[in-house]
């Protein structure tokens, strides 16, 4: 059975920075493969597209350009925010924070902490980086009617990746 829309795929992935070869994260570190409903928009669309046609037991290295992955870096997303808006948080450089907004959660990385202002980077941590996903497909099966209705896979456990 091949990876295609409406199938449930269980796979291990190792995500690397193409330029440096640095391993950014791997499902093997979590001890659990990832299980998705193909077409359920749970992973980067370009990654899913390039997994199409894979079968259980197959391994594939998939290159994604920054534009296909998390987009280019934008200097406009580096912003200065008044310190008081962070309340009592013990801010440190390099810290990753998540802020709730009416449009949904925004992730940011603290670049600089001043007395009255904080410089944050709202770019995705992987923005501007060409990535390589090493994919190993463990299982492909038909989705159940319930899974198709809910738009995601059920029952395998594993960690959710956002």
Domains of the chain: 7-70+127-150 (3.10.50.40), 75-121 (2.40.10.330)
> How would you write the pLDDT of the chain (162 residues) with one tens digit per residue?
999 999 999 999 999 999 999 999 999 998 899 999 999 989 999 999 999 999 999 999 999 999 999 999 999 999 999 999 999 899 999 999 998 888 888 889 999 999 999 999 999 989 999 999 999 999 999 999 999 999 999 865 444 444
Burial of 4-41, coded b for 16+ CB within 10 Å and e otherwise, reads eeebbbbbbbbbbeeeeeeeeeebeeeeebbbbbbebe
Q: What percent of the chain has pLDDT over 70?
A: 95
Tokens found for residue 34: 């990832």
CB atoms within 10 A of CB 140: 21
Chain centroid to Cα 70, Å, comes to 8
pTM of the shown model: 0.79
Sign of CA dihedral 38, 57, 131, 77: positive
Question: 3-class DSSP state for residue 156?
Answer: coil
Question: Comparing C-alpha atoms, which of 64, 110, 67 is closest to residue 90?
Answer: 110
- Cα 32 from Cα 34, distance rounded (Å): 6
Chain centroid to Cα 32, Å, comes to 16
């Amino acid at each position: 059975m091949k990876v295609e829309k409406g199938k449930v795929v269980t796979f291990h992935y190792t995500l690397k920075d193409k330029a440096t070869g640095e391993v950014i994260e791997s499902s093997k570190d979590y001890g659990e493969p990832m299980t998705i409903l193909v077409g359920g928009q749970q992973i980067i669309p370009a990654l899913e597209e390039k997994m199409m046609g894979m079968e259980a037991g197959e391994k594939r290295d998939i290159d994604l350009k920054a534009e296909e992955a998390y987009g280019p870096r934008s200097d406009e997303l580096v912003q200065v925010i008044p310190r008081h808006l962070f309340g009592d948080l013990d801010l440190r450089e390099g810290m990753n924070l998540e802020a709730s907004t009416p449009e949904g959660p925004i992730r940011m990385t603290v670049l600089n902490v001043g007395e009255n202002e904080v410089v944050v980077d709202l770019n995705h941590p992987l923005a501007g980086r060409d990535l390589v996903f090493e994919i190993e497909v463990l299982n492909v099966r038909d989705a159940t009617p319930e899974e198709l209705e809910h738009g995601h896979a059920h029952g395998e456990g594993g960690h959710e990746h956002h």
